[in-house]
């Protein structure tokens, strides 16, 4: 079989596709591809995750994905294994493994190398490799291709195909966005690009396909996340300035945005998660100038401490105070705690000697809402879950003296017996 033969098989959906990494990126992709008619071998080192998927149960909170996964499992098109060598040998292999920060501004390539080692155990002649993971620029050219060529004694672009197709999905909307978002494809050559294109067109024949280079694909994902992160940082700086001048930052931002197409400032609040806060470091580590990215990171990372400082100005020493933190995940409607500013907030609060109770409707290990609020001195709304939009009566019944609203979900007159503070408004 040649790569041209593989292209024909892909058009006919007569291929086996392996997805290495069945987390929040890989599992939606695997289930959507299975429901598009492909045979899928899902590969993941986490045994409990595999067992959950076998039962058709999504291992994390994502209702649309849960529905899609059930359909995929019922179709018989999905099998999951711990090692790719245990599966039916795939024709196409997706990498969806994580590339976290090492904590020192450098990339932790351990999951990526693990995936590379995984596929070095099979013959990749006339197969297609598609990289979905977020990577620093030139990772594909400088690390992945040399590794695969050395291990296989094959030539990339001739003996096997390869493309960079960065994911840009949003947690909780992954299934929907796999159908709707334009797909960026950076193939090493034309045939690789065409094979990748046919896979995504199988999901949606009307899907928009954007063609670039290997490095272009890597940078497109980084630019997307860095743009969002730095924009959030700017909004947060506006909030801090608003506090300095005694105005309501959220209201000023609404004024600036209103019916003005050239202004689209997000609302201030916590900016974190597994991607946004670390992806800029993939570029920043190689710059010789003062980067906007590093400034944005310092600003966004300082917001939890800034909020605590504001609370201290009103409430004084926090030692032995009972503080309720509402929301632990890094974003609304999610159970994802990775690099969550709310987690950082609770850690700083604990270091003050305060007694912390946490409620998050999506995180099972946290306390109930009623238990968390009981006899609370201070309440902090740290995540903008929809469940927190209509609980002012419960908060008022807690008799908390201070309410801090990170996300401006309420108004001052909602809490007549408490001091109401919110990020971006000092009084």
Catalytic option among 39, 127, 221, 322:
221
pLDDT tens digits, residue range 367-403?
A: 999 999 999 999 999 999 999 999 999 999 998 999 9
Report how far apart, in Å, the C-alpha atoms of 191 and of each of 3, 7, 128, 185, 310 are: 7, 8, 10, 12, 58
- Residue 286 pLDDT: 62
pLDDT tens digits, residue range 228-270?
A: 999 999 999 999 999 999 999 999 999 999 999 999 999 999 9
- Average of per-residue pLDDT across 288-302: 82
Helix axes 26-35, 190-203, angle to 10 degrees: 80
Question: What end-to-end distance do the CA atoms of the chain give, in Å?
Answer: 71
Question: Who contacts 49 (Cβ-Cβ below 8 Å, separation ≥6)?
Answer: 22, 59
Question: Who contacts 259 (Cβ-Cβ below 8 Å, separation ≥6)?
Answer: none
pLDDT tens digits, residue range 19-73?
A: 999 999 999 999 999 999 999 999 999 999 999 999 999 999 999 999 999 999 9
- Average of per-residue pLDDT across 149-165: 97
Mean residue pLDDT across the chain: 93
- Residue 98 pLDDT: 86
CATH of segment(s) 3-212? 3.40.50.720
Is 331 noted as a catalytic residue in this protein?
Answer: no
Residues of the chain with pLDDT > 90, as a percent, come to 84
Pairing of strands 378-381, 419-422: unpaired
Report how far apart, in Å, the C-alpha atoms of 98 and of each of 279, 385, 397 are: 12, 26, 43
Catalytic option among 275, 278, 321, 425:
275
Query: Is the pLDDT at 105 greater than 90, yes or no?
Result: no
Sequential DSSP letters for 166-222: -----TT-HHHHHHHS-EEEEESSHHHHHHHHHHHHHH-TT--EEEE-HHHHHHHHH
Q: Judge residue 286's burial from the number of C-beta atoms within 10 Å of its C-beta, 0-12 exposed, 13-18 middle, 19 or more buried.
A: exposed
**Is there a contact between 15 and 9 (Cβ–Cβ < 8 Å)?**
yes
Cα(105)–Cα(93) distance, rounded to whole angstroms?
Answer: 29
Of the candidates 160, 179, 141, the residue with the CA atom closest to the CA atom of residue 64: 179
Same CATH fold, 227-422 and 3-212? Answer: yes
- What are the structural domain ranges in the chain? 3-212, 227-422
Query: Is the pLDDT at 102 greater than 80, yes or no?
Result: no
Helix (H) or strand (E) holding 341: helix 341-351
Joined tokens for residue 201: 């067109």
- Average of per-residue pLDDT across 178-186: 97
Cα(145)–Cα(155) distance, rounded to whole angstroms?
Answer: 9
Q: Which CATH superfamily is domain 227-422 in?
A: NAD(P)-binding Rossmann-like Domain (3.40.50.720)
Handedness of CA 246, 238, 377, 354 (dihedral sign): negative
163: helix, coil or strand? strand
Is 165 noted as a catalytic residue in this protein?
Answer: no
Query: Is the pLDDT at 288 greater than 70, yes or no?
Result: no
Up-side HSE of residue 403: CA atoms within 13 Å toward CB? 26
- Residue 294 pLDDT: 84
- Residue 290 pLDDT: 58
Joined tokens for residue 347: 């850690």
Reported confidence tier of residue 293, pLDDT bands at 50, 70, 90: confident
pLDDT tens digits, residue range 346-376?
A: 999 999 999 999 999 999 999 999 999 999 9
């Amino acid at each position: 079989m040649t790569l041209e033969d593989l292209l024909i098989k892909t058009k006919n959906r007569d291929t086996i596709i392996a997805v290495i990494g069945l987390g929040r990126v890989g599992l939606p992709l695997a289930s959507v591809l299975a429901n598009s008619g492909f045979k899928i071998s899902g590969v993941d080192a986490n045994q409990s995750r595999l067992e959950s998927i076998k039962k058709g149960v999504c291992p994390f909170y994502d209702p649309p994905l849960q529905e899609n996964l059930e359909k995929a499992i019922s179709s018989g098109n999905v099998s999951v294994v711990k090692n790719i060598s245990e599966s039916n040998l795939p024709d196409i292999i997706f990498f969806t493994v994580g590339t976290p920060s090492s904590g020192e501004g450098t990339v932790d390539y351990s999951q990526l190398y693990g995936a590379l080692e995984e596929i070095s155990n099979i013959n990749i002649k006339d197969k297609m490799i598609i990289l979905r993971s977020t990577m620093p620029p030139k990772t594909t050219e400088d690390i992945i291709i040399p590794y695969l060529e050395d291990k296989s004694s094959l030539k990339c672009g001739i003996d096997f195909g390869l493309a960079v197709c960065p994911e840009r999905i949003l947690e909780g909307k992954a299934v929907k966005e796999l159908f709707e978002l334009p797909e960026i494809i950076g193939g090493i050559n034309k045939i690789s690009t065409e094979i990748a294109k046919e896979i995504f067109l199988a999901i949606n024949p009307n899907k928009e396909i954007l063609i670039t280079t290997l490095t272009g694909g890597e940078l497109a994902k980084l630019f997307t996340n860095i743009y969002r992160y730095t924009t959030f940082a700017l909004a947060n700086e506006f909030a801090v300035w608003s506090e300095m001048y005694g105005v309501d930052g959220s209201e000023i931002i609404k004024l600036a945005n209103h019916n003005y197409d050239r202004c689209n400032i997000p609302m201030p609040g916590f900016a974190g998660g597994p991607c946004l806060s670390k992806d800029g470091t993939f570029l920043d580590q190689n710059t010789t100038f003062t980067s906007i990215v590093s400034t944005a990171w310092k600003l966004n990372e300082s917001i939890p401490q800034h909020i605590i400082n504001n609370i201290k100005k009103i409430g004084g020493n926090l030692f032995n105070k009972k503080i309720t933190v509402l929301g632990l995940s890094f974003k609304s409607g999610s159970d994802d705690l990775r690099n969550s500013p709310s987690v950082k907030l609770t850690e700083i609060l604990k270091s003050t000697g305060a007694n912390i109770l946490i409620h998050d409707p999506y995180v099972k290990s946290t306390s109930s809402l009623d238990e968390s609020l009981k006899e609370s001195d201070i309440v902090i709304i740290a995540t903008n879950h929809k469940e927190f939009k209509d609980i002012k009566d419960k908060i008022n019944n807690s008799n908390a003296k201070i309410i801090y609203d990170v996300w401006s979900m309420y108004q001052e007159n909602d809490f007549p017996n408490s001091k109401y503070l919110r990020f971006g408004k000092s009084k």
